[in-house]
Amino acid sequence: MDVMPFLDLDVDGRSGLVGPSQKEAEDYLSFRCLGTGVFNFLITLKPTSEGQDDVVVGKLGSYRWPYVGYLMHPDHAGKGYATEALRAWIPEFWKHMPSPSEGKPGFDYIEAMTDGENYGSGNVLMKSGFTLFGKQEKGFNSPTLGLRDTNVYRIARPGTKLEESGKVDYGKADPGFVPRLIEPEAHT
Ligand SMILES: CC(C)(COP(=O)(O)OP(=O)(O)OC[C@H]1O[C@@H](n2cnc3c(N)ncnc32)[C@H](O)[C@@H]1OP(=O)(O)O)[C@@H](O)C(=O)NCCC(=O)NCCS
């Protein structure tokens, strides 16, 4: 598996994969690239000439309905790429993820969770049509920052109402929770 584009993105372990090795990165990517719910993409620059190799600048997508997450390489942040990619991804995800009204398991909303102080990520979501839907206080134990508040954003499927998408209820916050490779990622 070519994990290099991903490892290059994982500056300072920002994916949550602290100290990635080839093996860890392969496990991490296998977990996030296989299965019916997976709808994950690398973000590349538009080629400027024919035959040019892809320049990977970020990743964006979902490995578990109805969640979305993304990560940009810092050299390419602040240029609108995350917003551009998310706006392009959302209509495709509506086609990929069924609506419960079709009688299949699925969702009429997409959800993203950000750190309470990740203003850049919040802006990406708001500029893409998401609404700040709820907050969870001190529910995430960051390996580097300690207990953190989480903002929960949602966007409704066209033709449905966000108010009907259900409450944000993650149960009792678990301050002992630290994400591990084998567990579904709790944060984008
Ligand atoms: C957050 C992140 C995805 C933003 O990607 P990006 O490509 O820089 O975002 P955009 O350029 O599309 O910016 C969207 C908006 O957010 C604003 N923004 C970006 N970084 C910001 C920051 N640190 N503080 C405040 N606003 C910020 C931009 O100014 C822009 O608004 P504008 O167009 O009105 O100026 C990127 O910085 C990143 O990968 N960070 C580390 C990983 C991470 O936080 N992932 C998301 C976890 S929830």
Tens-digit pLDDT profile for residues 10-30: 655 555 554 567 777 777 777
Tens-digit pLDDT profile for residues 68-104: 999 999 899 999 999 999 999 999 999 999 999 998 8
Q: Is 4-165 a CATH 3.40.630.30 domain? A: yes
The identity of residue 27, as a single letter, is D
Structure-token match 């084998």, residue found: 182
pTM: 0.84
Atom of ligand 1 nearest to the CA of 113: 48
User: In what side-by-side order are the strands of the sheet with 146-156?
Assistant: 109-115, 146-156, 131-142
| Domain spans, the chain | 4-165
Atom of ligand 1 nearest to the CA of 123: 16
Neighbours of 83 (CB within 10 A): 16
Three-class DSSP category at 66: coil
Weakest mean pLDDT among 11-15, 62-66, 173-177: 173-177
| Ligand 1 pocket, residues with Cβ under 6 angstroms | 14, 70-72, 77-83, 114, 118-121, 123-124, 127, 188
Using the predicted structure, report yes or no on whether residue 188 has a pLDDT greater than 80: no
